[in-house]
Chain A
Amino acid sequence: MHTHHSSDRRRTQRLRSVLIAGGAMAAAASLLLTGCTGAGASGGSTNDPDAKVTLEFWNGFTGPDGPALEQVVDDFNASQDRITVKANIMPWDTLYQKVLTAAAGKNGPDIVAMSASRLPQYAAEGLFQPIDDYYENPDFESDALADAAVSASMFDGENYGVPVNLATMLMYYNMDLFTAAGLDPEAPPTTWDEFAAMVPKLTVDENGDGKPEQYAIALADHETVPMYPPLLWNAGGGIVSEDGTTSELDSEGSLEALNFWVDLVKNKQASPIGLAGADADKLFQTGKAAIEIVGPWMTTGFNDAGLNFGLAPAFAGPSDQITLADVVSMAVPTSADETTKQAAYEFFAYWNSKEGQTTWAEGSGFPPTRADVSSDITGNPYPAVFGAPDVVDNSRVLLPGIAAGGTIMETIFNPALQKALNGKGTVDDIFTEASKQVQAELDK
């Protein structure tokens, strides 16, 4: 490589007076050669345990959790001097759009964080490599991690991720709005029926123009952390069966839940229709919704807004009281070589170490991925609330290990829900049809 490089340059010098343009092209060519050499040095399929490695880490923690994440990254970089992790924080939407083109261009990230619900789709397309060997190394203390967090990134019998967090959803309720409605601010609804009975008091249309100024609950139906699907679980239904092979959208439980909630929202105005996740957060944050069921990332924003809110497990349905667990996992692109992968493992292990998880939970309010640090977290009350054993044990990941998970949510479930909420057919008709589409996606 080196000889080619210098002979190119000599030739260029000889010709420079004759052809400036030719010289420019040769310079470009030698740049290409240099780039080639650089890539060659870090290439290879064996681990070089002494190589200096810089890891580009893409994630979407743009909220108050971002600084907490960067703190853990900085601590890791300071804890050793071989590996440098660079956190690149961008909105999740942007990350999902860019990750594929970046990976295809060989210029992409070395570690990608993404929702475990989305990961199988990318794994199925060949973007990520399986990392089962991470869990075989006893030094990494993987046994201490919550099972739900580890198994969320399983796809096709192999594990493609290491957890960043396991965030459970709880019911935030605005105590001042409860008081104003003549309700006990210490007694949030514990069942669907209790909630339904409160809707006439918590949905307020002061000027009688048909559009409430205040809603009982903010339920987002698109571009959101899933808010409706857990309701299906609690009536004994769901979107797909546990083994991921059969659509359950037209099951008795699913249709019961959907009929109940579409009626509450559409006819009794329990929530606005057409909310995106960010709209729902905004509605609760500005005191225009009395309840929102969402994850620990909102605590900072709601506290900063001066809201007087309480936290409780979301109301139970007729058969269950399961809440959503949103797991974000870190994955390694297929293009990463062995040295890069092993360096990423070092970071994964630090992230999930006692030290890393204490810093993360304290700073972000997320529950730690390992229960054995709970007693060390004293500066922030929320990790214990969201990580309480009865909450975590009754939580479930949406569509884990299903490659079509994203498609099912974005192109079948959410549009069907919006149709039903807008009165474009009956719940039974719409979701029986949607169920066939889900089955078709699962069969692909």
Chain B
Amino acid sequence: MTTLQTAQTAPPQAAAARTDAPRRHRSHRKAITAWLFLTPALLVLAAFTLYPMVQAAYLSLTNYNLIRAAEWVGLDNYVELFGDPAFWNAFWNTVYYAAVVTPVTIGLALVLAVFLDRQFAGRAFVRTAIFLPFIVSLGIIAIAWAFLLDPNIGLLSYWLSQVGIVSGQGVLSDPQWAMPAVMFVGVWKNVGFYMVIYLAGLQSIPEDLHEAARLDGANAWQRFRNVTLPLLSNQTLLVSVMALIASLQAFDQIYVMTHGGPFFRTETLVMLIYREGFQELRFGYGAAISWVLLIFVFLLSMIQYGYSQRRQVRY
């Protein structure tokens, strides 16, 4: 999230050099006005993002436990972390989660957007139905899904058993199926939001471009591939950065549905941070994991940004 916010609230361009004094003066005043408008947002950012980050960086170099005074331990936490099997387990779980959830969410959002861009009866209802999970708290959604998937009282388990699919112990405690289940809920929750972003993008594509392509003999797939998709590249960048960051921060539904289990099969980095901090009372160590995650997210976002910049298309 941090990288996103920083990008959005980048300071306005300093007043460009002008030749005549009055205009320079005016643009200087404009810049001051802009800064004044930005001040509240920057203060909030400093208080709730920057300060905690710096504080966490400091804590990651201590053995802080919330009660005792923090003792300086240097890089001990980081050294321990890279040799900790629990960290690597959580790291690879996070990568697995993100590698599946991010592309599936984006792809599904695009398909849904293209489909729901057409005219048909009940379109508004379907759009709303798909968007709805996004505005409901993920914690509540997760509780609902945990009930649906319960092996003994779950409605979904019952339906599946009626068609011959029987899960003896329920998907959430099955080491093979627990991760796919929390992935599914993650996709289901967010796909509506990204779909709306794509819908807005689709509606901003001028119809004459499609028409021109049609006159040139392009079929539906070619029009989508060569007109629609490139013109959605801005949306795709935004959506993919947001979706990736969201999936690297997966926590809520995992906390509620599996609590990281069975035997840490669904423990992501954020779950591990929570466990080390609030259960093992090792806030210094938890802060160190947070910083590793932050750097990882930052690097990935930079790569995504650079890649998309090169591919940006305008007509």
- Per-position binary interface string of chain B over residues 96-109, scored 1 when its CB falls under 8 Å from any chain A CB and 0 otherwise: 00000000000000
- Decide yes or no whether B172 CB sits under 8 A from chain A: yes
A125 x B173 contact (CB < 8 A): no
Contacts of B262 in A (CB 8 A): 222, 274, 415, 418-419, 422
- Across the A-B interface, give the 4 residue pairs with the lowest CB-CB distance, nearest first: A274-B173, A415-B263, A104-B66, A273-B169
- Report the minimal beta-carbon distance from B79 to chain A, rounded to whole angstroms: 16
- CB under 8 Å from chain B, chain A span 392-429: 406-407, 410-411, 415-416, 418-419, 422, 424
- Decide yes or no whether A103 CB sits under 8 A from chain B: yes
Interface centre among A273, A282, A286 (most CB of B within 10 A): A273
Given contacts A274-B172, A422-B175, contact A121 B281 (CB under 8 A): yes
Chain B residue nearest in CB terms to A222: B261
For the A-B complex with A211-B167, A415-B263 known, give 16 more contacts whose Cβ atoms are closer than 8 Å.
A100-B66, A100-B278, A103-B66, A104-B66, A126-B65, A211-B161, A211-B168, A272-B168, A274-B170, A410-B279, A411-B86, A415-B262, A418-B263, A419-B262, A419-B263, A422-B263
Contacts of B151 in A (CB 8 A): 211, 272
- Decide yes or no whether B223 CB sits under 8 A from chain A: no
- Decide yes or no whether A107 CB sits under 8 A from chain B: no
- Decide yes or no whether B280 CB sits under 8 A from chain A: yes
How many chain A residues touch B (CB < 8 A): the figure is: 36
- Decide yes or no whether B58 CB sits under 8 A from chain A: no
Contacts of A100 in B (CB 8 A): 66-67, 278, 281
Given contacts A125-B65, A125-B68, contact A406 B279 (CB under 8 A): yes
Contacts of A243 in B (CB 8 A): none
- Report the minimal beta-carbon distance from A205 to chain B, rounded to whole angstroms: 10
Q: How far, in whole Å, are A121 and B281 apart by their CA atoms in the complex?
A: 9
Contacts of B65 in A (CB 8 A): 125-126
- Per-position binary interface string of chain A over residues 157-170, scored 1 when its CB falls under 8 Å from any chain B CB and 0 otherwise: 00000000000000
- Decide yes or no whether B127 CB sits under 8 A from chain A: no
Contacts of B167 in A (CB 8 A): 211
A272 x B263 contact (CB < 8 A): no
Chain A residue nearest in CB terms to B67: A126
Contacts of B279 in A (CB 8 A): 96, 406-407, 410
Q: How far, in whole Å, are A223 and B261 apart by their CA atoms in the complex?
A: 11
- Report the minimal beta-carbon distance from A228 to chain B, rounded to whole angstroms: 14
- Decide yes or no whether B152 CB sits under 8 A from chain A: yes
- CB under 8 Å from chain A, chain B span 47-89: 65-68, 86
- Report the minimal beta-carbon distance from A85 to chain B, rounded to whole angstroms: 24
Contacts of B28 in A (CB 8 A): none
Q: How far, in whole Å, are A51 and B68 apart by their CA atoms in the complex?
A: 29
A127 x B263 contact (CB < 8 A): no
A407 x B280 contact (CB < 8 A): yes
- Report the minimal beta-carbon distance from B182 to chain A, rounded to whole angstroms: 15
- Decide yes or no whether A210 CB sits under 8 A from chain B: yes
Chain B residue nearest in CB terms to A288: B152
Given contacts A104-B66, A209-B161, A424-B175, contact A418 B168 (CB under 8 A): no
B67 x A127 contact (CB < 8 A): yes
- Report the minimal beta-carbon distance from B175 to chain A, rounded to whole angstroms: 5
B264 x A415 contact (CB < 8 A): yes
Given contacts A274-B172, A416-B263, A422-B175, contact A334 B67 (CB under 8 A): yes
Q: How far, in whole Å, are A209 and B65 apart by their CA atoms in the complex?
A: 50
- Report the minimal beta-carbon distance from B265 to chain A, rounded to whole angstroms: 9
- Decide yes or no whether A119 CB sits under 8 A from chain B: no
Across the interface, A209 reaches (CB within 8 A) one of B66, B153, B166, B259, namely B166
Given contacts A101-B66, A103-B67, A415-B264, contact A273 B152 (CB under 8 A): no
Across the interface, A97 reaches (CB within 8 A) one of B164, B166, B170, B278, namely B278
Contacts of A216 in B (CB 8 A): none
- Report the minimal beta-carbon distance from B271 to chain A, rounded to whole angstroms: 12
Q: How far, in whole Å, are A422 and B67 apart by their CA atoms in the complex?
A: 39
- Decide yes or no whether B174 CB sits under 8 A from chain A: yes
A104 x B67 contact (CB < 8 A): yes
B281 x A125 contact (CB < 8 A): yes
Contacts of A334 in B (CB 8 A): 67
Q: How far, in whole Å, are A125 and B167 apart by their CA atoms in the complex?
A: 43
B169 x A223 contact (CB < 8 A): no
Chain B residue nearest in CB terms to A207: B161
Interface centre among A96, A283, A288, A411 (most CB of B within 10 A): A411
- Per-position binary interface string of chain B over residues 288-300, scored 1 when its CB falls under 8 Å from any chain A CB and 0 otherwise: 0000000000000
Contacts of B175 in A (CB 8 A): 418, 422, 424
Identify 15 residue pairs between A and B in the complex whose beta-carbon atoms are under 8 Å apart, listed by A's number. Answer: A100-B67, A122-B281, A209-B166, A222-B262, A223-B259, A273-B169, A283-B152, A406-B279, A407-B280, A411-B275, A415-B262, A415-B263, A418-B262, A419-B262, A422-B174
A210 x B168 contact (CB < 8 A): yes
Chain A residue nearest in CB terms to B161: A209
- Report the minimal beta-carbon distance from A414 to chain B, rounded to whole angstroms: 8
- Per-position binary interface string of chain B over residues 251-289, scored 1 when its CB falls under 8 Å from any chain A CB and 0 otherwise: 000000001011110000000000100111100000000
- CB under 8 Å from chain B, chain A span 265-298: 272-275, 279, 282-283, 286, 288
Chain B residue nearest in CB terms to A223: B259
- Report the minimal beta-carbon distance from B279 to chain A, rounded to whole angstroms: 7
Contacts of B169 in A (CB 8 A): 272-274
Chain A residue nearest in CB terms to B176: A422
A126 x B68 contact (CB < 8 A): yes
- Report the minimal beta-carbon distance from B222 to chain A, rounded to whole angstroms: 49
Contacts of A101 in B (CB 8 A): 66
Q: How far, in whole Å, are A121 and B86 apart by their CA atoms in the complex?
A: 20
Q: How far, in whole Å, are A126 and B66 apart by their CA atoms in the complex?
A: 10
- Report the minimal beta-carbon distance from A417 to chain B, rounded to whole angstroms: 9
- Per-position binary interface string of chain A over residues 328-351, scored 1 when its CB falls under 8 Å from any chain B CB and 0 otherwise: 000000100000000000000000
Given contacts A210-B166, A211-B168, contact A415 B261 (CB under 8 A): yes
Chain B residue nearest in CB terms to A272: B169
- Report the minimal beta-carbon distance from A95 to chain B, rounded to whole angstroms: 12
Q: How far, in whole Å, are A424 and B176 apart by their CA atoms in the complex?
A: 11
Q: How far, in whole Å, are A222 and B65 apart by their CA atoms in the complex?
A: 25
Q: How far, in whole Å, are A297 and B174 apart by their CA atoms in the complex?
A: 29
Q: How far, in whole Å, are A274 and B280 apart by their CA atoms in the complex?
A: 23
Q: How far, in whole Å, are A307 and B255 apart by their CA atoms in the complex?
A: 33
Contacts of A411 in B (CB 8 A): 86, 275, 280
- Per-position binary interface string of chain B over residues 15-43, scored 1 when its CB falls under 8 Å from any chain A CB and 0 otherwise: 00000000000000000000000000000
- Report the minimal beta-carbon distance from A224 to chain B, rounded to whole angstroms: 12
- CB under 8 Å from chain B, chain A span 198-213: 209-211
- Report the minimal beta-carbon distance from A104 to chain B, rounded to whole angstroms: 4
- Per-position binary interface string of chain A over residues 54-93, scored 1 when its CB falls under 8 Å from any chain B CB and 0 otherwise: 0000000000000000000000000000000000000000
- Report the minimal beta-carbon distance from A80 to chain B, rounded to whole angstroms: 32
Q: How far, in whole Å, are A86 and B114 apart by their CA atoms in the complex?
A: 58
Q: How far, in whole Å, are A279 and B154 apart by their CA atoms in the complex?
A: 12
- CB under 8 Å from chain A, chain B span 128-174: 151-153, 161, 164, 166-170, 172-174
